[in-house]
Amino acid sequence: MEAVFLTFILMLSIFVGFELINKVPATLHTPLMSGANAISGITVVGAVALAGTGRGDLANWLGALAVALASINVVGGYMVTDRMLAMFKKRGG
Amino acid sequence: MANEQIGIQLAYVVAAALFIFGLKFLGSPATARRGNQISAVGMLLAVVAALMDQGIVDYSYIFAGFIIGGAIGAAASRLVQMTAMPEMVALFNGFGGLASLCVGIAAVGASAGTFTLFTVVLSILIGGVTFTGSIIAWGKLSEKLGNLKALPNQKMVSFAVVGGLVVFSLLFIAFPGGDLWLLLLVALALAFGVLLVIPIGGADMPVVISLLNSYSGLAACAAGFAINNNILIVAGSLVGASGIILTQIMCKAMNRSLSNVLFSGFADPVEAAAAIEGEVKPLSVEDAFYVLEAATSVAIIPGYGMAVAQAQHVVNELRELLEKNGAEVVFGIHPVAGRMPGHMNVLLAEADVPYDLLLEMDEINPRMDTVDVAIVIGANDVVNPAAREVESSPIYGMPVINVDNARTVFVLKRSMASGFAGIDNPLFFKDNTRMIFGDAKETITGLIREFD
């Protein structure tokens, strides 16, 4: 039943994603991609639980590696997107 | 469900809502920055909630990961040049894929239900392909890998790898606890990523980078299934959808199907079509200045060459001078100009060109016949009239910016070498076309000097 429930969530979020992204203008496609990079760093949430089991075994190390990699995406992705979006100015604005 | 678990799940719901609002605000340049900040708040909330999990007994690994990853990410985001954004996004796609691969592997021990194992396989496959594929893409974009082409017998090798992936996946699911199958799966997934991207050429990179962007989201999604986590599924599928839409836009802008982009590296090169009649007419910077001085309407069409020459700042200076001289200046941006979606827009924004002057192809084409001078800077295939006129051309049918409809066309170009697609461009031989040879940045600096 759990699997069905998760698939339900998957389907709905894909539809929401399509609706939202279709409205992003072409001029913002690069910030959209780097912003998406940051969001895909959500893996950090899963990695945190695996890195913290305290067993000191493979799962711990893999988890720590995943936390580090995903943190690069989260921190780097949001910061570089912000840097780019700060440069977009309207005429006279 | 314990109270603290309910609290965590509710925080995930709020985080998902913030991601969705963040993407919604990306719908306009005026609100986009706020949208990105809202999305970041959602991420912070999700991470804090995850840290509240009572199952965590040791925080040392977690914080070591945070500090190392965060420091690298922060440094990279500050140091990267805007011209190098495609490389950075490619690398980040790869890191996302590798993170999901790690989570997938680490999740094997937690549970061994058939469905979980199936999703573990998916996160290893998608994560592994995303990781090595992105590393190859990064190498191609930064020209560290030179001109890698498809391996000899690549088709056979690829089929063997896909066959191996299917067999080992089944074995892994059928016999849980088989570390050998797991290792083989990881190795083949990594190999498959390399095979997938190696044959693809530089001009097709906007498609590849969008596709890998999508995969990095789908990998997070699969990892979410593997560890039963809603927020990974929601956020991962938002990214997946975003990448798929961009991939579609890029493919449409090249009039090619995704499979054609991915697999045409195996095909034999098309023989050159009929020779083009006509004569190339070079123009000096000085004469170009006289034409520009008299122009009342100018359109600038940038391409990857502008990024290579780092000419975006002088282009903006030229725009300001032309406007001071009474001309109306707009920019025409083709969806696949550059190496990633929106590449040109970011470079021009960096150089302080207002974004309302950046017109999409469909906006600029109808008004092209009222343009006095169209200046093509480092673009080739995206302004090639062969796409409309020459049925035998490999790019026939691709939508292009019709600069040849302008009264005069200036093409700033290093030499007469053909574009990345290796296709002749009849634009250079048209009656109203003038070629200004040389480095784009130097040429434009020369024009600016003439204005002073």
Q: Which residues of B touch A48 (CB under 8 A)?
A: 47, 50-51, 53, 56, 62
State pLDDT tens for residues A11-28: 999 999 999 999 999 999
Interface touch B99/A69, C-beta < 8 Å: yes
3-state secondary structure of B214: helix
Residue of B nearest to A36 (CA): B239
Is B381 among the catalytic positions? yes
B345 close to A (CB below 8 A)? yes
pLDDT one digit per residue (tens) for chain B, 452 residues: 678 889 999 999 999 999 999 999 999 999 999 999 999 999 999 999 999 987 888 888 899 999 999 999 999 999 999 999 999 999 999 999 999 999 999 888 656 688 889 999 999 999 999 999 999 999 998 888 766 777 778 888 889 999 999 999 999 888 877 788 899 999 999 999 999 999 887 778 899 999 999 999 999 999 999 988 999 999 999 999 999 999 999 999 988 888 888 877 655 445 455 556 678 889 999 999 999 999 999 999 999 999 999 999 999 999 999 999 999 999 999 999 988 999 999 999 999 999 999 999 999 999 999 999 999 999 988 999 999 988 888 888 899 999 999 999 999 988 776 555 556 789 999 999 999 999 999 999 999 999 88
Q: Closest partner residue to B74 among A31, A75, A88, by Cβ? A: A75
- What pLDDT shows up at residue A54? 67
Cα–Cα distance list, B231 to B11, B42, B145 (Å): 10, 11, 37
Q: Which 195-214 residues of chain B touch chain A by CB within 8 A?
A: 209-210, 213
Q: How confident is the model at residue A88 (pLDDT cuts 50, 70, 90)?
A: very high
Residue A57's pLDDT band, with cuts at 50, 70 and 90, is confident
Q: Out of B381, B431, B439, B452, which one is annotated catalytic?
A: B381
pLDDT tens by residue, B381-420: 899 999 998 888 888 889 999 999 999 999 998 877 655 5
State the Cα–Cα distance between residues B175 and B215, nearest whole angstrom.
Answer: 27
Cβ of B99 within 8 Å of Cβ of A41? The answer is yes
Q: How far apart are CA B98 and CA B283, in angstroms?
A: 51
Domain map (residue ranges) of chain A: 28-85
Domains of chain B: 80-266 (no CATH), 285-451 (3.40.50.1220)
More confident residue, B110 or A89: A89
- DSSP string spanning B355-400? GGGEEEHHHHGGGGGG-SEEEEES--GGG-THHHH-TTSTTTT---
Q: Which residues of chain B neighbour A17 with C-beta distances below 8 Å?
A: 23, 237-242
Assessment of whether the complete model's pTM goes beyond 0.80: yes
Q: Which residue has the tokens 């093509």?
A: B376
Question: pLDDT at position B74, please?
Answer: 97
Q: What is the dihedral of CA B379, B381, B383, B389, to 10 degrees?
A: 160
Identify residue B72 by its one-letter amino acid code. Answer: I
Give which of B197, B203, B204, B209 is closest to B136, Cα–Cα: B197
Are B99 and A44 contacting, i.e. CB atoms less than 8 angstroms apart? yes
